[in-house]
């Protein structure tokens, strides 16, 4: 495992890694223990029987709903951001674990991907503004998403964060918990790490499926043969989410016939707000 010996040096001496280089490893926080993650086979999208939504914008806007589930698993190259996320999960009877992960070709930089699609639009246009707002909202997270998740064999090491540690070490934004040195002796190497993944890096290309309009829209047809958006007629009574990617079943809006209209994605892309 040629790179493992230098990984911890990079944690202690992050200045050795150039700012524009792809990360050698990533981090993720989870309330599930290493044993639980291993039993699950790794980190994967929710196995709830729903269709996976591969649009990255939906992952952040919450549109991966109603028969859809986000196809992405989030990680970050910023240890401080991950620790900060963990702090919101820890309680008197709940620990959180920080996982150090070897990336692979299905890991994509969120920042690079959003910037690419934003810059493909006319500056100031509705499409440009929508993606630019996502970039602003998630600035500083240094996030990488793994498409379809990843196996436990990519976990290099893990460390527990519990309430006692929070009580002893957390005081403010300058807490030692955010320090690389603090975690140096707390990492536990994973016996399940797969050496075949050693040295792999995230994709050097941006993720391309971002904020794409669907090729169809689902509508409700009322007794007067008027076509109405589902969010106007079904949401309040049935809790049906307002999403262009949602699929309705006949029992979701019992008073209405559910229909689908196909459209030209290139045309709708130019006018969608």
Domains of the chain: 4-197 (3.90.210.10), 216-271 (no CATH)
- Supply the pTM of this predicted model: 0.72
Q: Tens digit of pLDDT for each residue in 160-174?
A: 999 999 999 998 888
Asked if 176 contacts 169 with a C-beta cutoff of 8 angstroms, the reply is yes
Per mean pLDDT, which range of 4-18, 101-115, 124-138, 214-228 is the poorest?
4-18
Q: Can you tell me which residue has the tokens 């989870």? A: 30
Query: Residue 136 corresponds to which tokens in the numbers above?
Result: 């602003």
Examine the pLDDT at 243 and tell me if it is beyond 70.
no
Examine the pLDDT at 232 and tell me if it is beyond 80.
no
3 state SS of 21: coil
Hey, how many other C-beta atoms are within 10 angstroms of the C-beta on 172?
A: 5
Q: Tens digit of pLDDT for each residue in 146-199?
A: 999 999 999 999 999 999 999 999 988 889 999 999 999 999 999 999 999 999
Label the pairing between strands 96-101 and 155-161.
antiparallel
Burial bucket for residue 268 (CB in 10 Å: 0-12, 13-18, 19+): middle
Asked if 178 contacts 82 with a C-beta cutoff of 8 angstroms, the reply is no
Asked if 97 contacts 160 with a C-beta cutoff of 8 angstroms, the reply is yes
Examine the pLDDT at 3 and tell me if it is beyond 60.
no
Give mean pLDDT, residues 23-34. Answer: 97
Sheet containing 227-229: give its strands across.
227-229, 216-221, 257-262
Give mean pLDDT, residues 116-142. Answer: 90
Q: What is the crossing angle of helices 126-137 and 110-119, to 10°?
A: 160
3 state SS of 82: helix
């Amino acid at each position: 495992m040629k790179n493992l010996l230098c990984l911890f040096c990079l944690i202690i001496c992050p200045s050795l890694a150039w700012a524009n280089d792809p990360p050698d490893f990533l981090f993720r926080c989870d309330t599930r223990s290493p044993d639980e993650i291993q039993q699950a086979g790794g980190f994967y999208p929710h196995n709830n029987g729903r269709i996976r939504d591969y649009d990255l914008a939906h992952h952040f806007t919450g549109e991966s709903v109603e028969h859809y589930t986000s196809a992405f698993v989030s990680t970050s190259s910023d240890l401080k951001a991950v620790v900060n996320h963990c702090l919101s999960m820890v309680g008197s009877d709940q620990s959180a674990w920080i996982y150090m992960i070897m990336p692979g070709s299905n890991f994509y930089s969120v920042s690079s991907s959003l910037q690419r699609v934003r810059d493909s639009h006319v500056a100031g246009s509705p499409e440009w503004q929508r993606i630019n707002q996502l970039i602003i909202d998630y600035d500083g997270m240094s996030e990488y998403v793994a498409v379809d998740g990843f196996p436990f064999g990519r976990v290099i090491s893990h460390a527990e964060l519990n309430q006692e540690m929070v009580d002893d070490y957390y005081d403010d934004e300058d807490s030692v918990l955010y320090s690389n040195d603090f975690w140096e002796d707390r990492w536990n190497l994973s016996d399940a790490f797969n050496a075949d993944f050693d040295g792999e890096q995230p994709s050097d290309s941006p993720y391309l499926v971002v904020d794409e309009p669907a090729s169809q829209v689902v509508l409700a047809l009322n007794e007067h043969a008027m076509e109405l958006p589902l969010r106007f007629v079904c949401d309040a009574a049935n809790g049906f989410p307002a999403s262009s990617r949602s699929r309705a079943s006949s029992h979701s809006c019992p008073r209405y016939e559910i229909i689908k209209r196909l459209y030209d994605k290139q045309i709708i892309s130019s006018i969608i707000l």
